[in-house]
Structure 1
């Protein structure tokens, strides 16, 4: 009997010129058209938007974070309240990550910082120790000591009740040597087997488990990581770990990894959400992406725009405009005349600039809705382009390359 009776992944179209594919990922809470973007409701909420607004903007799936929900309000409470879907008022598909990324970021800094070449973080290090048993750390809320093991991560994710869940892993940083990366990968494999055993012990058919491919920037280690997940009964695969010191190296590592994976399983790229990065990932065969970038950018005054828009109106390349800048103080245009989101249909750049300067919450809500709508339109256009073999046209329009 299948481990995943209520799940399926069917590829409906494969590109003739790249690894891109369009598909349907069926879950108990709905079917996701892929490629798709997963928005981060890290602590059980999308910052700046109601669930109904996320739906209205075309969102198919969101995620919450095991680490943060464990610390507050606690997975036991969420389970008592009927699970994440009922607790937060979202009736569509959901994913929870394992907490492994937080183990990494608490010890070293973020993946985004690595790719941007930033190695120093001034956040307090709350991770205490990683051992065979799991990761021991202090709560950033009250200093309480926690131990996150593979079994506990799966138990928390079961209590939260998301459709798609992930094994616990150690996400190794870029600036360690190959020896450390290899030891870390093998530790993650042992943790993954424990995660899988715990999943099978409590599996009731309502969740599907993803395995993670580690191995840093090393081809032979990535090959071992791919072989490991291919040979175990995970529903899907997630490409994780350090992806290099630059976007170019990241693209190379993603492409290398995808060539080694079982082509019939869905593949998720963890924590990547730049427009050009999404096109590259899609061309390599990535089916889903997640990143805080669209909503975080909105909270800093940034509105996503296409490269085509940039060239027509700003005269230079980029992926967003910063509405805090004084050039928008008397700009009566919407963010994008061609955008169908509520913000572009109702607000001018001048008004949004004013709201930002006045520190009005509406500015962050309006920009969040725009960025969410933008990302959903981007992926909708990508799906259609795969079906019509016109991905290059859309790539030039959205990413300028």
Structure 2
């Protein structure tokens, strides 16, 4: 049954590579971007529009779905695929990132120094994470075994081991302790997975170790020596772009090359090009869809100069300059939004607080990201990734 999943390399250009991940619900051409359907929905857009935009794979969140509607309810409804009406590959994360954000605040909160949300984490110990539901205050314990059991009921094709994702401000000693615990959790996750593995799902291990090279090397060796289908790079990647690229580069040098490699939580255009150049195969991030809900529409570098600061990868359609702009978001974009509507119309919708605005911009941003990844794959096949980068990304953004 395990032959339902495979990873085949098609072409390598430098360290960048094009491949195919085969799953029971279809193939994923890599490099690929995975959109976040956190609570079994892409916010503001129906699944048909997501499919029409050439989306290959989406992900849902174990933590949120275990709280509402509950994994048993999802299973009774036939699993995530049937419940959502999505017949292509899916990934679920393990809940590990939520443990991090519950205990330490989100990455953005950490960098900005804000702490608005009440923390609901009670404790993390060897057994797992104990926390209160943000919905009704009920206490839960998420263990490695429970995370796998939930993900098996949710039914995504690709699933992840439970880990603790540490922030960058903790000590090396804490990072090491956390990494070793995450390793033990990974073994427990794998054991639980293999108890009832019927070939319908494949499990990813997660490299930890924060920004410390010796810990990263140790974690890579650990992941390499266990029979995971794929591998993800998790944990803190540092507090600057430069540090993130260094951590990813070093980690990639020490991970197995014959497995699909996923970079957790990265979705900027420049960041994707850097990571693809290092050999990353898949990415996930809320960035394209969250940006849309703030009025931000992604645009290529070559379309940026006359309307936007070079230091951004998007335009903000709330801005007054678009009030009478009857151009589409991008004149060379073939998405539904750009074929039918103008910047001025979307500007009006945003000002009027019409929900359609968020739908239209999200459709564009999803289409944009899929077109970006398609262009990257073709550029690798043609050995011209550097040339392609200049179409999409301003090079002065690299370390901003």
TM beyond 0.5 = yes
1:123 Cα deviation after fit = 1.1
| Number of the residue aligned with 1:88 | 84
Q: How does 1:217-256 map onto structure 2 within 5 Å?
A: 217-256=211-250
Gaps of 5+ in 1: none
- Give the Cα separation in 2 of the matches to 1:145 and 1:317: 44
Check whether the contact 2:100–2:165 (CA below 8 A) recurs between aligned residues.
Answer: yes
Could you say what the CA RMSD is over the residues aligned between the two structures, in angstroms?
Answer: 1.0
- Tell whether 2:299 aligns with 1:301: no
Matches within 5 A, 1:288-367: 288-314=282-308, 316-367=310-361
Cα deviation, residue 113, structure 1: 4.7
Q: Offset of 1:76 from its aligned partner?
A: 0.4
Out of 216, 235, 246, the position equivalent to 2:210 is: 216
Report Cα offsets for 1:45-74 as digits up to 9, x if no partner. 001111111111110000000000000000
Q: 1:398 corresponds to which residue?
A: 392
Matches within 5 A, 1:348-387: 348-387=342-381
Distance 2:368 2:311 in 1: 17
What is the CA-CA distance between 1:314 and the residue it aligns to? 3.6
CA contact (8 A) 1:213 1:229 kept: yes
Q: Does 1:171 pair with 2:165? A: yes
Structure 1 residue 315: deviation in Å? 6.2
SS in structure 2 at match of 1:5: helix
Tell me the equivalent position of 1:272. Answer: 266
2:275 is aligned to: 281
Instruction: Give the SS at the match of 1:211.
Output: strand
Count, aligned residues: 395
Aligned position for 1:75: 71
Specify every segment of 5 or more residues in structure 2 that has no aligned partner in the other structure, as ranges. Answer: 396-400
Is contact 1:109-1:119 (8 Å) kept? no
Structure 2 CA distance for partners of 1:384 and 1:113, relative to 1, 3 Å: farther
| SS of residue matched to 1:170 | coil
Shift of 1:316: 3.1
CA distance in 2, matches of 1:247, 1:400: 15
Question: 3-state DSSP class of the match of 1:24?
Answer: strand
In the alignment, the residues of structure 2 paired with residue 249 and residue 315 of structure 1 have an alpha-carbon distance, to the nearest angstrom, of: 25
How much has 1:384 moved relative to structure 2?
0.2
TM value normalised by structure 1: 0.97
Cα 1:396/1:78, change in 2 over 3 Å: same
TM (norm. structure 2) is: 0.97
Evaluate the alpha carbon distance shift between residue 315 and residue 224 of structure 1 in structure 2; reply closer, same or farther with a 3 A threshold: closer
Distance apart, 1:312 and its partner CA: 4.6
Paired position in structure 1 for 2:94: 98
CA apart distance, 1:367: 0.2
Q: Contact between 2:217 and 2:251, CA under 8 Å: does it hold in 1?
A: yes
The answer for the alignment partner of 1:31 in structure 2 is: 27
Residue 122 (1) aligns with residue 116 (2):
yes
Shift of 1:158: 0.2
